Structure 1
Amino acid sequence: MVAIVFQVVCSFLVWLSLYHGFWFRNKHRSPEWSCRLVTLMHGLIATFLSGYIVLIDGPWPLTHTGYPNTTPQVCLMSLSLGYFIFDLCWCISFKSEDDLMLFHHMLSISGMVIVLALGESATEVNAVTFVSEITNPLLQMRWFLRDMGRYHGFVGDVVDSLFVVLFLGLRIIGGAWIMHSVVTSPRTIWMLKCGVLVMYMVSLGFLLDIYNFARRKVVKKYHIRRNEGTEGKNPKANGHPPAC
């Protein structure tokens, strides 16, 4: 357990050092820019490692819930726990996120602390990490595009479309599959069952926000194209109708 605590502390210090390094090199930008760079790095690393553990190294989360933690799982949980502690502290300090996101962070921290302390059930938490973090890099790319003024265009539409597809396919549909296997597992403790269930409820809350965003974006594009079509049918020259 001492070794695990040491890994978590080292992880926290690494993410904190990365943030300060990014901030030092990007003083002309906001602190959120540097924080989101750290978030992007964690999202990419966590997605790759958790995907490797789920799909290649194993064990399979739908059949081995509640089993003892493996070394790769412990390393990933320690790495991500250090990041979430850093990000939660940053969000509280800068008041940058709403209550739902802060609750998501605290729930993630609690789940990782429990599985590391118990020495089991990292399989299902790793699976939740995979379906949760795979959309994170796209979310950060969207923010950077908006900040650089390049969001409104083809690239922004592709990023948004991929984000929605992955969120629905993995976090909602895949998450429901994982939640069912955890809730019905005789080996997983009730506390983790409740945690996974609540985490899925949080995902549904995010889904509602995504739905409202997508609806507004579709309506906005519809009105823009409609106005363009109207202008095309009624051409004007110098602001006046052409002479007959």
Structure 2
Amino acid sequence: MALLVVFALLCLSCWASFYFILCIVNGSRSYEWNCRLVTLVHGILAVCITSYIGHVDGPWPFTHPEGPVMLAHHTMSILGILLTLWLGESGIEGCAVLFGSEITNPLLQTRWFLKQTGRYRTVLGNVVDISFVLLFVVMRIFVGGTMLYCELISPRPRFFIKCGGVAMYALSWVFMVDIVRFAIRKSKSWHKQQKNQQEKVTANGYELKND
């Protein structure tokens, strides 16, 4: 985990250094010009790396999809972004949906890293899981529902934009069902673990008393 954090900070430092070097070497151009050069190089590099992963290293994305619900979520997200860019409107709704969709992603990835390093069944793992569930419910269900209501009653967004918002919110409820099931399993597992620890403490106390 620490190695990944160090690597991420190193990459950030390299991109920032690249930008500052461009500003010095290419000083006759504006800051935005040099920033977009960095973005261009970053985009080309990202395409090359992901292309290598998909076509050479594997797995092939068309034969190993993430599942129908997640695939629908990503498909609608991509179509929504393309639609707002093409229309040149409803950008704020698209940004809000992306914000609400991705705000729980860091916790989800942290959970995966904790599992890989054998630290998931710890206090930190419980904190990450609880934070994920609470943040999902607040942002995707309550805040998302409020935003959807404002979008539906507003005359400005187009009809198909509103339909897309309804579809994304419906998907959030599909995810919510899975999260509720996960929370129930997690709660039962936690209570079982606490019960086993309590029985172990009681047994140890009985043994000490007999000794």
Please, what TM-score do these two structures have when normalized by structure 2?
0.70
Other structure's SS at 1:149 match: coil
Identity %: 37
Counterpart residue identity of residue 93, structure 2: E
Counterpart residue identity of residue 159, structure 2: W
Alignment CA distance shift 1:17-1:141 (3 Å)? farther
Does residue 174 of the first structure (1) align with residue 150 of the second (2)?
A: no
* Structure 1 residue 185 displacement after superposition: 1.3
Counterpart residue identity of residue 156, structure 1: G
Counterpart residue identity of residue 113, structure 1: L
**Residue of structure 1 equivalent to 2:190:** 221
Q: Tell me the matched-pair count.
A: 170
**Residue of structure 2 equivalent to 1:156:** 125
Does residue 102 of the first structure (1) align with residue 32 of the second (2)?
A: no
Alignment CA distance shift 1:101-1:123 (3 Å)? same
* Structure 1 residue 159 displacement after superposition: 1.2
Larger RCO, structures 1/2 (Cα 8 Å, 6+ apart): 1
> Which of 68, 73, 81 is matched with 1:112 structurally?
81
Larger fraction in helix = 2
User: C-alpha separation between the residues in 2 aligned to 1:169 and 1:14?
Assistant: 36
**Residue of structure 1 equivalent to 2:62:** 92
Other structure's SS at 2:204 match: coil
**Structure 1 residues not aligned, in runs of 5+:** 1-8, 24-29, 33-89
Please, what TM-score do these two structures have when normalized by structure 1?
0.61
Other structure's SS at 1:92 match: coil
**Residue of structure 2 equivalent to 1:233:** 202
**Structure 2 residues not aligned, in runs of 5+:** 1-39
Alignment CA distance shift 1:242-1:92 (3 Å)? farther
- State the Cα RMSD in Å: 3.1
**Residue of structure 2 equivalent to 1:201:** 170
Once the two structures are superposed, residues 84-119 of structure 1 have per-residue CA deviations (whole angstroms, 9 ceiling, x without a partner) of xxxxxx753433x11100000111111111111111
User: C-alpha separation between the residues in 1 aligned to 2:123 and 2:196?
Assistant: 19
> Which of 21, 29, 47 is matched with 1:16 structurally?
47
**Residue of structure 1 equivalent to 2:112:** 143
* Structure 1 residue 235 displacement after superposition: 2.9
Other structure's SS at 1:143 match: helix
* Structure 1 residue 14 displacement after superposition: 4.4
User: C-alpha separation between the residues in 2 aligned to 1:242 and 1:146?
Assistant: 39
User: C-alpha separation between the residues in 2 aligned to 1:16 and 1:94?
Assistant: 19
Counterpart residue identity of residue 118, structure 1: L
Alignment CA distance shift 1:196-1:10 (3 Å)? farther
Counterpart residue identity of residue 92, structure 1: F
State whether residues 128 and 178 of structure 1, in contact with CA within 8 Å, keep that contact through their aligned partners in structure 2. no
**Residues 55-74 of structure 1: pairs in structure 2 closer than 5 A:** none
